[in-house]
Amino acid sequence: MYHIGPARSAFDAFKSLPRDEPVEMLNLIRLHDKAAYPDGRTASGVDAYAEYGRRSGPVFQRVGGKIVWRGEPQLVLIGPADGLWDIAFIARYATASAFLEMVTDPVYQEEAVPHRQAAVLDSRLIRHCPAAGENRFG
């Protein structure tokens, strides 16, 4: 099963967690080779996701979002061998409310989301609260 956007139950659970605390969102993205635009236009998944970035960037910046880590996935050491992601990054928001403001913004919804939906084959978006103790495992 592929995951492109949040299930209503997951979005409701997100909204039920504290909204006034910082959140870090782990993004794992697998792209289509060819973007799947409903109107049939042609673009690669890479190009469609880049367009999503251009369109979502101003809203992301306006709400104070910041990319705090980005990596280039190379190999799955533990997990399914076919589980390699094309894009991996962590976005930080000052509050969960800022994230909600971004994803419900009309410009984001109308101008950015269609490109993300066309680009993405599968994804994971995992909410984290920042934790102390960066130099320990548990």
Per-residue pLDDT tens digits for 76-126: 999 988 888 999 999 999 999 999 999 999 999 999 999 999 999 999 999
What is the predicted pLDDT for the residue at 1? 74
- Identify whether 6 is part of a domain: no
How far apart are alpha carbons 97 and 95 in whole angstroms? 5
Which residues contact residue 13 at a Cβ distance below 8 angstroms, ignoring those fewer than 6 apart?
none
| Residue 92 in tokens | 């930080």
In a domain, 78, yes or no: yes
Query: Is residue 50 a part of any domain in this protein?
Result: yes
Domain residues for the domain of 56 are 21-128
Q: Evaluate whether 84 touches 75 at the Cβ level (below 8 Å).
A: yes
User: Residue 26 pLDDT > 90, yes or no?
Assistant: yes
What average pLDDT score do residues 39-54 get? 97
Decide if 13 is inside a domain. Answer: no
The per-residue pLDDT of the chain, averaged, comes to 94
Q: How many domains does the chain have?
A: 1
**pLDDT level of residue 131 (50, 70, 90 thresholds):** confident
Tell me whether residue 119 is in a domain.
yes
pLDDT value for 29:
97
How far apart, in Å, are the Cα atoms of 82 and each of 8, 30, 76, 78, 86?
28, 11, 8, 11, 11
Q: Is the pLDDT of residue 65 over 90?
A: yes
11 part of a folded domain: no
3-state helix, strand, coil in the chain (%, to 5): 35, 25, 40
- Residue 19 tokens read as 């909204």
Contact 32, 87 (CB under 8 A): no
CB-based contacts of 136, cutoff 8 Å, min separation 6:
none
53: CATH: 3.30.70.100
| Helices within the chain (DSSP H only) | 8-16, 45-62, 96-104, 106-107, 113-119
What per-residue confidence (pLDDT) applies to 138? 66
